[in-house]
Chains A and B, each alone.
Chain A
Amino acid sequence: MSVIVLREGIYTTMQDAGRPGYRAAGIPLSGAMDELAFEAANALVGNGSREAALEFTMQGPELRFEEDTMAAICGGDFEIRLDGEPVPQWRCFRVRSGSVLRIGRAARGLRGYLAILGGFRGADFLGSMSTDARGGFGGRRIRTGDRIETNGCRVELPFEISPWFVGSELRSIDAERPLRIRCTGGPEAEWFDGRELDEFYEQAYKVTPQSDRMGIRLAGATLWIRDDRSMASEAAIPGTVQVPKGGEPIVLGCDAQTTGGYPRIAVVARADLPLLAQARPGDDVRFERVSVAEARELWFGRKRDLALLRHGVRLQLGCGMGKDERA
């Protein structure tokens, strides 16, 4: 079955769990920027963790559904109406054939995810339907008039809106402000003067409007490396905090280049990347140093919360389908 795009929103793409395994070929991971919201949305409709969803930014799309399905929206605080009636986020809800879903502006946060039962179906590239706009594969950004295919399946549900919902622990937009972003020390951290490192962890940076899926660009006191050190390019992963020549840090996003030659002062803990995915231009960000062991524990906590959500929903739905086990 298909979904017709009546209005495309500001920047809407299909994203799933990404395409790991090809970074040695220069092909970025891509995938959902707020992976917790993406996985929560899939979990709410009983999908596996790898089904493709629509990721929308700042203002969402307006869609008409051709058939009945179940849907869920997680992420920023978006105004959502189904056939004119408000619909809550963080729960799954029934969509009927012919219904129009209108996702408006984000009052808080930046990105949202629409998951439907069975997942969306887009252009597969190397096993993933995540769109990489720069590379030009995995589809392209969604445009008004598009017809998006889905792995639709009909289902009979005893409710319009599920009684269960995603708890606050998985809602990145509920994080305290200014954002506290935990990170481990980067491989070139010692290239920075001790005072500069303290500066990096003490001051508040502001998210700039130049931020996107390739990276979150920050404005604030500039950082300089001592001496004239330089490095040969090495692999770069999402969450890497690079300090380019201008001295203002960039946190690499999902679509970032796979290698880089700028010094890396820190690496954001994977558990906190979703907080940055929801950071709007003008938001304040503070970095906090943690050990690798602590970063691991933080990630385990997120995975536990997601697993509990997934299994809890499946018990309620009495089903489970689709692709699972994202790395």
Chain B
Amino acid sequence: MWSEPKLVPLGEQAYIVRWSRSLDPAANAAVHALRRELDRNPFIGLIETVPSYAALTVMFDPIRCKPSAVIAALKRALEKAEPAEAADRRFVEIPTVYGGDAGPDLASVAEACGLTEPEVAKLHSGAVYTVAMIGFLPGFPYLFGLPAAIATPRKDVPRTRVPAGSVGIAGLQTGIYPLESPGGWQIIGRTDSVLFDPKRKRPNLLEPGDRVRFVPEGRVRG
């Protein structure tokens, strides 16, 4: 069902299973299918798998398994991997305040896209997103599904301080900063939802494969 991926070593302790070099939703579905299969049937020596947009990186202990055994196990897993059941997917709503102090870049994004601020907010909150991967910071979700009409490149000069909960756009990506951090994404809104809390039983709010919708709160601030 999916195209045949490449298997590429990453040092002596990992293999990359790669379908594509770009932000490819079909490849991302294959990444998560393989990840689920390896989770269900791990091979001896498997440590963990890290999904990204279009590749799955598989970490293993080289003392417990040879490269040939890893490759054989990955090929078997690829054959058995299946798409997710609709019931498997979690759906998470992220209440978001758009614009004003919460979204200092909403005005410039609107201008760059030839839209009004409320139109940008409406387009952003109207889509249903998929968490393609988590990276950069604990709990930072990279989301697929941004309407092309509001895609905007990263800021030329990143901010030294982006508040926790900030919702941003970078190219065709949208995401949420779980912690305060320097950052170059266009910040269009903010959520009070806590994306990462080390004291919670499940520290991360979102996981790869989750569906997400942003729910606007209040009026779009101008």
Classify chain A's interface size. 35 or more
Q: Which residues of B contact A239 (CB under 8 A)?
A: 11
Q: Would you give the 0/1 interface string for B8-31, flagging 1 where the beta carbon is closer than 8 Å to chain A?
A: 111111101010111110000000
Given contacts A235-B14, A299-B62, 7 further A-B contacts (CB under 8 A): A23-B59, A137-B138, A187-B10, A187-B16, A237-B11, A258-B134, A292-B67
**Residues 164-207 (chain B) with a chain A CB within 8 angstroms:** 178-179, 196, 198, 203-204, 207
Q: Which residues of A contact B9 (CB under 8 A)?
A: 184, 292
Q: Would you give the 0/1 interface string for A120-139, flagging 1 where the beta carbon is closer than 8 Å to chain B?
A: 00000110000000111100
Give the distance to chain A from B177, nearest Cβ to Cβ, in Å.
11
Q: Which residues of B contact A (CB under 8 A)?
A: 8-14, 16, 18, 20-24, 35, 47-55, 57, 59, 61-63, 67, 133-140, 142, 178-179, 196, 198, 203-204, 207-208
Can you offer 5 A-B residue contacts whose CB atoms are under 8 A?
Answer: A26-B139, A233-B135, A237-B59, A267-B11, A300-B63
Q: Which residues of B contact A135 (CB under 8 A)?
A: 137-138, 179, 196, 198
Q: Which residues of A contact B179 (CB under 8 A)?
A: 135-136
CB pair B53–A24 under 8 Å, yes or no, is no
Q: Which residues of B contact A21 (CB under 8 A)?
A: 47-48
Tell me if A234 is interfacial: C-beta within 8 Å of chain B: yes
CB pair B11–A184 under 8 Å, yes or no, is yes
A25 to B57, CA, bound (A): 13
**Residues 286-324 (chain A) with a chain B CB within 8 angstroms:** 292, 295-296, 299-300, 303
CB pair B57–A235 under 8 Å, yes or no, is yes
A191 to B53, CA, bound (A): 20
A137 to B199, CA, bound (A): 9
CB pair A25–B203 under 8 Å, yes or no, is yes
CB pair A25–B52 under 8 Å, yes or no, is no
Q: Which residues of A contact B16 (CB under 8 A)?
A: 187, 234-235
A22 to B61, CA, bound (A): 16
CB pair A232–B53 under 8 Å, yes or no, is yes
The residue that A296 contacts in the complex, of B12, B134, B135, with Cβ under 8 A, is: B12
A327 to B48, CA, bound (A): 11
A27 to B196, CA, bound (A): 10
CB pair B133–A233 under 8 Å, yes or no, is yes
Give the distance to chain B from A276, nearest Cβ to Cβ, in Å.
14
Known: A21-B48, A184-B9, A259-B50. A327 touches B204 (CB 8 A): no
A20 to B47, CA, bound (A): 8
Give the distance to chain A from B210, nearest Cβ to Cβ, in Å.
12
Nearest B-chain residue to A326, judged by Cβ: B61
A50 to B89, CA, bound (A): 36
Q: Which residues of B contact A3 (CB under 8 A)?
A: none
Tell me if A72 is interfacial: C-beta within 8 Å of chain B: no
The residue that A187 contacts in the complex, of B8, B54, B139, with Cβ under 8 A, is: B8
A260 to B20, CA, bound (A): 15
A135 to B11, CA, bound (A): 26
CB pair B61–A231 under 8 Å, yes or no, is no
